[in-house]
Chains A and B, each alone.
Chain A
Amino acid sequence: MEKALSNKKIIALFLLPGLTVFLIFYFVPIVMTAYYSLQDWDGINPMTFIGLDNYTKMFTVDKSFWQAVWNSLAFLLVGVFIQLPVSFALALLVSRKMKGRKWFRNIYFFPVVMSTTMVSLLWVKIYDPNIGMLNTLMDTLGLGAWTGAWLGDTKTALLSVLIVTTWHYVGYNMLILFAGMQGIPEQYYEAAKLDGATGWKAVRHITFPLLSDVLRICIVLNVIYALKTFESVYVMTNGGPLNSTTVIALKMFQEAFLKQNFGYGSALAVFMVLECLIISWVLNKILTQEKIEY
């Protein structure tokens, strides 16, 4: 058996079924989608080759495309610069030796196990300006002047959705970071303590550097998730009002399945794949550094 497994040809043979499945179900559809993005096609009738016209339309004619790009970037920025720091702070808190830390950890992680659709529907009810809990609560607290239409107002809709996605996934990053923190040997902190590095200094000089690999993974995952956001927006606002919350994935769905512009929808899909790949690659390049050892 060992001899067989040291034979590269046999290893390749074992890998072949998995590779075949991957090629058929992942790679081929991506290539086909790229091909369809060059066609004028409604998904039913014969397609017409139009070269890069769909891309030209995307970048120069379709105004809501740039709105969708900006909104996707808003998800990215909030994911990296708000959600991740909050997750880091929560991970620090729940990693402290205090009473009930497991309980807190579970509470913060609980939203992650709920389906996005369920969470989104729940928040639609909370945000409802007429019968929702949020406005009622604000009225009760004497903050009636601050109540709003939340998801029904172009000024607040995107922010309202961003708050929900942050709330939903903050526990996910927290758990990854918490696991990383558990892997940092306690003696580093004890040695630092002797040198007078406690509190924020210990976090800055020990936790941060030793957690850099985990942080990088969290950033890349957050970026990919942000750029692929669909479900929460679809359920909560359907991209509205007036395209104020539309994102690339939702726009792709609307073009392909509602407007029956399969060609243009495919072009948007290709843009999304390339956008994810390029940003993830750049981030990996920027964030990769020499491994620190103490």
Chain B
Amino acid sequence: MFGKKFGVVAASAALVSVVLTSCGGAEANNGGTQGQEAAATDSKKSVTLWIFDADPMYQSAAEAAAAEIGVELKYEYIQDETYKTKLSVALAANELPDVFQQHAGKSYRTPVLQSKTVAPLNDTLDSTGLGAQFLDNQLVTEEDGNIYSVPSNISTTLVLYYNKKLISELGAAAPATWEDLQALIKTANDKGMIPIALGGKERWQGDLLYDMLVAREDVNAFDKAINGQAKFTDPPFVEAANKVVTLVNSNAFQKGFLGSAYLDAQELFKNDKAVMWIDGSFNFSSLSTAMGDNLGYIAFPKTGAEDVLSATIGFQNAQAPYSLFVNNSSANLDEAKEFAIRLSLKLNDEFVRKGLPGYAKSEVKSESQNKELSAYAADINKTSKTQAMWFGLLSADVGQEYRDLTQALYGGQLTADEFTAQLETLLRTAE
């Protein structure tokens, strides 16, 4: 036991010391240590929480949950991309905070569970009676019969945001079809505007757009192919890849989009430089705050045979939702468990307040919302199938290879046929 733990720490130290000396070192304090120090100096117990979601409701909900059980909260927001790295290092070195959020998807959830560093929550869910508040199937029971997490977000989906002011200047409307989208791209380019801002550096926005284009051809295409009933070289995949090529060739994305970071690309959209922005519905709050009534929303244009409300890409699936986990080495384990559960329920109240479908019972009433968010709430309730993003269904290494492959498609290194042939080879290994 000692050997393995020491090995992980030693290997991480050797690797990290070479590459991360000035990237994350300053933030290397871990919650467990902080929690222990605080406990020693202060009789009030403390709980450290790591969150990657920028929405301020997370902090207010966490403060309320901490106040309810009388613990001191050490809240740490970490920017999303940094979070992924920081958490994977903390996981490998067993240096986790008391409670932490994790992204949706198998590639993120599996390592957490395999690390054996998280605590089962069954006892606290039962003893506090809070477990009964979660709706059916919203708490994931793992193979060993334990529940290791509680939800931290609802099932968000990929949507298309647009800038109402720029659309108006172009004398156009939000695109409803593939032809509309192409026409809008041409009009925007003619007027010197960026049609779609895309952060290609981190690659995930591009791969999600491809996922969406496939789903719009045939919403069951991925499931059939990954289960061996079809191939990734079948028409839906080729047609979607051809659409990506068409978008790239028609200069749909900003100049140098492959080198643009997600946040830099988002700034182009927020600052009236780009007409459209493809992103998760989880960004409604921050985009609304930045753009006010200038923010427009549509589910996504109809680009294939599927109707716009019959298929969309979601950021989680039932087995791997956005979650809160509790470190089983926490100095205040009982408090940390109860805090995580209460935080989950408070977040649910906030979603319900926004008119979105929650994952637990709530007495909160839906309040009047931003018109676009109300439209989204209505759409999501009518959506008949949500295909989980592919990356979230793949193992970490295959998922990263998939992102490399989609970047090669966007970069013009592969034709649609070459891309799908390589996709077939790569994803067949993940079958």
Contact = CB atoms under 8 A, between A and B. Distances in A.
Q: Of A128, A234, A269, which is in contact with the most chain B CB atoms at under 10 Å from its CB?
A: A128
Interface string B49-92: 00000000000000000000000000000000000110011011
A13 interface: no
B280 interface: no
A44 B264 contact: no
A250 B19 contact: yes
Contacts of A272: 18
A28 B3 CA distance: 13
Contacts of A228: 18
A20 interface: no
Given A152-B256, A242-B258, A258 B400 contact: yes
B14 interface: yes
A260 B88 contact: yes
Given A152-B257, A258-B400, A117 B23 contact: yes
B261 A231 contact: no
Contacts of A33: 10-11, 14-15
What interface size band does chain B fall in?
A: 35 or more
Interface in A204-259: 228, 230-231, 234, 237-238, 240-243, 249-250, 252-254, 256-259
B256 A130 contact: yes
Q: Of A234, A252, A258, A262, which is in contact with the most chain B CB atoms at under 10 Å from its CB?
A: A258
Contacts of A249: 18-19
A232 to B, nearest CB: 11
Given A128-B264, A249-B19, A36 B201 contact: no
A124 B262 CA distance: 13
A33 B19 CA distance: 14
Chain B contact residues: over half helix, strand or loop, or mixed?
helix
Interface in A126-150: 128-131, 148-150
A58 to B, nearest CB: 15
Contacts of B203: 240
Interface in A257-280: 257-262, 265-266, 269, 272
A115 interface: yes
Interface stretch (B167-175, B233-241, B299-307, B406-414): B406-414
A187 interface: no
Contacts of A25: 13
B8 interface: yes
A265 to B, nearest CB: 6
B273 interface: yes
Interface residues of A, number: 53
Contacts of B17: 29
Contact of B92 (A153, A234, A254, A262): A262
B10 to A, nearest CB: 4
B411 A242 contact: yes
Nearest to B202: A238
B143 interface: no
Contacts of A259: 396-397, 400-401
Q: Of A44, A256, A262, which is in contact with the most chain B CB atoms at under 10 Å from its CB?
A: A44
B396 A260 contact: yes
Interface in A36-78: 36, 42-45
A30 interface: yes
B82 to A, nearest CB: 11
Contacts of B260: 128, 152
Given A240-B201, A254-B400, A43 B259 contact: no
Contact of A36 (B7, B20, B200, B407): B7
A269 B18 contact: yes
A197 to B, nearest CB: 45
Contacts of B257: 152
Given A29-B11, A252-B19, A258 B88 contact: yes
Contacts of A243: 404
Interface in B1-39: 7-8, 10-15, 17-20, 22-23
A36 B396 CA distance: 19
Contact of A152 (B11, B15, B258): B258
Contact of B258 (A115, A240, A257): A240
A117 B19 contact: no
Contact of A151 (B84, B89, B259): B259
A129 B19 contact: no
Contacts of B23: 117, 231, 234
Contact of B115 (A44, A149, A154, A256): A44
15 contacts: A25-B13, A29-B17, A32-B7, A44-B114, A150-B256, A153-B258, A231-B22, A237-B259, A242-B258, A249-B19, A254-B400, A259-B400, A259-B401, A260-B111, A269-B15
Interface of B: 7-8, 10-15, 17-20, 22-23, 84-85, 88-89, 91-92, 111, 114-115, 194, 200-203, 254-261, 264, 268, 273, 396-397, 400-401, 404, 407-408, 411, 413
